[in-house]
Amino acid sequence: MPNTCEHCCTKIDNLGVSFGCFPVLQGVSLHLNCHEILAVIGPNGAGKTTLLRAIAGEVAYSGRIKFLIRSDPSKKPRFGYVPQKVLFDLDSPVSVLDLVATTITDKPIWVGIGASVRRQAQQVLEKVAADDLIDKKIGELSGGQLQRVLLAMALTPVPDLLLLDEPVSAVDVKGAALFYSVVDSLKKGYDISIIMATHNLNDVAPFADRMILLNHTIISEGTPHEVLSDRKTIEMFQKNL
């Protein structure tokens, strides 16, 4: 675990979340630097999504979350979030350009999208290898294509902390590999920290810098090799097969 911050980091100390009388997370402590991908693995119901929502400030929690953004602890971080699943009307005439434009301009999309906004949308889609999709309708996209479009939206503007919740759960192997490759390039190209909750243990391992096994608290932490070869990880996933 890193013990020093660079110019941006996230520190979580003794985080706890309860829904009513049911504790979902207890005693979670983490330290994440920028240019780092943390993979969060665990069985269904382990609290992975709740952890992301707590970090984003969407649920109440006990303990402490501290952000150091561009060496200034008073700055509030910008979050980017890609959910596990987004339900769209597949018959909708909404295009990829329409969706991405909503993150670029405050003008209603129905009044028209100007050349400048289209150019900016094209540029952000290029970051996620999706610029060829700009004129496609949402209902025409594959699962992997849609996730890359959602990733483009999460990057507008570029966040300090990117939260990915099971982003390739409904994506084929080829699409998942492309998604991971794009996320890896984002880590290298921007001053962002990335936390990815995932079930794709072996696929994410080559791209993650660190990994935690979560089951309401942190069971194991280290490099992907260390966590995936840990007896506790093996036993947990054998039980949940």
93: in domain: yes
Asked if residue 146 lies in contact with residue 111, where contact means CB atoms within 8 angstroms, the answer is no
Does residue 5 have a pLDDT over 90? no
196: in domain: no
135: in domain: yes
151: in domain: yes
61: in domain: no
Residues 72, 8: Cα–Cα separation, whole Å: 8
203: in domain: no
- Domain extent at residue 121: 86-157
Does residue 241 have a pLDDT over 60? no
Mean pLDDT value across residues 201-208: 88
- Whole-number average pLDDT of the chain: 89
Mean pLDDT value across residues 61-81: 87
Mean pLDDT value across residues 189-193: 87
pLDDT tens figures, 16-64 = 999 999 999 999 999 998 889 999 999 999 999 999 999 999 999 999 9
Decide the pairing of beta strands 22-33 and 9-19.
antiparallel
3: in domain: no
**Hey, what are 44's tokens?**
């269904």
98: in domain: yes
pLDDT tens figures, 111-121 = 889 999 999 99
pLDDT tens figures, 159-173 = 999 999 998 887 888
The tally of domains found in the chain comes to 1
In a 10 Å sphere around its CB, with 0-12 CB exposed, 13-18 middle and 19+ buried, how is residue 40 labelled?
A: buried
This prediction has a pTM of 0.89
Does residue 2 have a pLDDT over 50? no
Contacts of 182 (CB under 8 A, 6+ apart): 127, 128, 129, 148, 151
Asked if residue 33 lies in contact with residue 195, where contact means CB atoms within 8 angstroms, the answer is no
